[in-house]
Copies of this chain bind each other. A is one copy, B any other.
């Protein structure tokens, strides 16, 4: 036993007790002959004190302690003279009788404080030191807590956690697989799963009824800012369910998480929005509904009045940015430049201000009467002091740009408080979407998603425009403008699955080679089933009030897919290559 208590545990009630603590030296300072040391562990910080009149050896040891040394101390709990109400242990300190240095420490390359002075690269290299900081300790604790609550909730709902294999078969479709050469099967490869999709469906065929798993998934993609090659999913599937059953079950889960982890009560019924409404009113399939500022189409009100920009497009839309009629010319110019950046890609921006005196001022004044502009303002419910921002072009593209602008204005106006939680179900997704480049359909969710029963006729049509109209019982869980999860009711009929592969332009042979086992499984009594998966890393980061996931993963990789702490990936021995029957065509850089 190295300790009787942790550093977060002692209170005024413990005064008088002799205790032993162990931990890290957060800081130490001399004050009028006394030495004060803050001792830290995962549970908190406790103040230690060595009296000026204490034994010389004790005083010497106390003075010698460096930052991050690991020590074990024994002493008496005493009431502090100057209490610190911000610290749970702030009423007491330990008057030491003994200090034992368990391990010295080199001076850390950056400060181990709430905000470190170390750069990102340096902190990544010394991740084990960065992980000592409060924000990361809290991040991993909330991650543990969420996982624990998820498991308890699902267990109580009769879900079984069942592990699916990590060494599976490569079925590239969409993202790239990571592959693993097999030594015992020369020339052949396993793949790491992008998700356990087919396995969880097989578990439904196998009668497991309710499955879940908190599971690692792998995607060999060029990494965008906040993507990781390995990430974690809360993966779930249920049998004998319709969409409503799935949504209710996971609304319950999210409500429990918000309540038990954050003590936040969310709406009794999470709002639902069709994919079409999400696109039309928010220009996004993951609307942030913490604030309104909906997109409205105004084509009918402004097209055909001689303003050539509007007259030449299919779609004109606007948002009402409340209370910004006071924006200066300079501010509006800056906004215009902002939407013209390649990341947004707009050609320009039109404004219509409703001034405080009720007059209308717009960049397109000369093409429209004030009454015409007032009609636009009325449609968007603009009041005195508001300003409309207008964009035009192809419909979905313009809505998308308006959606990006809407989020930006939300940020600028402080409407996106990370601790205000506004969950949403987006439902009724199209089943497939056409890709002009490859001239084929792609599955909007994945190839196992079932068309809505009422759209079956369209699904078996061979007309492109019919297929585009097919909707799926697919759903996304969206929180504050971020997609946290999604799923669907699946196909459970072998012939319907074959039709789906046909729609996607996957040949019979290819489908048979890649998915033969699941098509075959469906012939032996597959139940109706559906499910969903949540991005666990992102659930954790949003619950922690952060947008980036990296702090919520103990050992993340950088944008090149490297772990700079362990220096991986790395070269392997030729012997190992030979055993795998592999030859590298890459030039070997100097190590």
Using CB atoms and an 8 Å cutoff, list the residues of chain A in contact with chain B: 1-3, 6, 22, 24, 40-43, 68-70, 72, 102-106, 108, 126-129, 131-132, 137, 140-141, 143-144, 147-148, 151-152, 155, 160-170, 172, 176-192, 198-199, 202-203, 205-209, 216, 218, 220, 222-223, 229-230, 232, 240-242, 244-245, 492-493, 516-517, 521-528, 553-555, 557, 560-563, 565-573, 576, 579-589
Contacts and interface: CB of A to CB of B under 8 A. Distances in A.
Contacts of A41: 207, 209
A509 B194 CA distance: 37
12 contacts: A2-B242, A40-B207, A132-B206, A148-B161, A165-B230, A169-B568, A170-B572, A179-B180, A179-B181, A186-B587, A187-B589, A189-B569
A563 B185 contact: no
Contacts of A528: 2, 102-103
A167 B230 contact: yes
A199 B140 CA distance: 14
A104 B493 CA distance: 9
Nearest to A222: B184
Contact of A160 (B144, B162, B527): B144
Could you say which of A244, A517, A571, A587 has the most chain B C-beta atoms within 10 Å of its C-beta? A517
Given A525-B69, A525-B105, A571-B188, A155 B148 contact: yes
B554 A203 contact: yes
Contact of A183 (B68, B220, B580, B584): B220
A22 B557 contact: no
B569 A188 contact: yes
Top 3 nearest A-B pairs (CB, nearest first) are A187-B586, A105-B525, A186-B586
A129 to B, nearest CB: 6
A189 B199 CA distance: 27
A353 to B, nearest CB: 49
B160 A70 contact: no
B176 A183 contact: yes
Given A165-B563, A167-B229, A242-B1, A189 B570 contact: yes
A41 B199 CA distance: 19
Nearest to A575: B172
Nearest to A523: B106
A169 B155 CA distance: 35
Contacts of A229: 167
Given A582-B585, A585-B581, A103 B165 contact: no
B68 A525 contact: yes
A103 B492 contact: yes
A198 B567 CA distance: 14
A191 B570 CA distance: 9
B189 A571 contact: yes
Nearest to A565: B517
A163 B554 contact: yes
Contacts of A562: 185
Contact of A525 (B24, B43, B569): B24
A236 to B, nearest CB: 14
A69 B105 CA distance: 67
A179 B147 CA distance: 29
A203 B589 CA distance: 32
A22 B140 contact: no
B492 A527 contact: no
Nearest to A553: B163
Nearest to A584: B187
A70 B204 CA distance: 12
A190 B103 contact: no
B70 A206 contact: no
Given A164-B555, A192-B180, A568-B167, A70 B220 contact: no
Contacts of A43: 209
Contact of A584 (B128, B129, B582): B582
Contact of A566 (B168, B209, B492): B168
A194 B225 CA distance: 30
Could you say which of A179, A186, A205, A223 has the most chain B C-beta atoms within 10 Å of its C-beta? A179
A183 B41 CA distance: 40
Given A183-B176, A561-B185, A129 B192 contact: no
Contacts of A104: 525
A216 B169 contact: no
A240 B22 contact: yes
A46 to B, nearest CB: 14
Contacts of A148: 151, 155, 161
A521 B560 contact: no
Contacts of A182: 561, 569
A471 B207 CA distance: 50
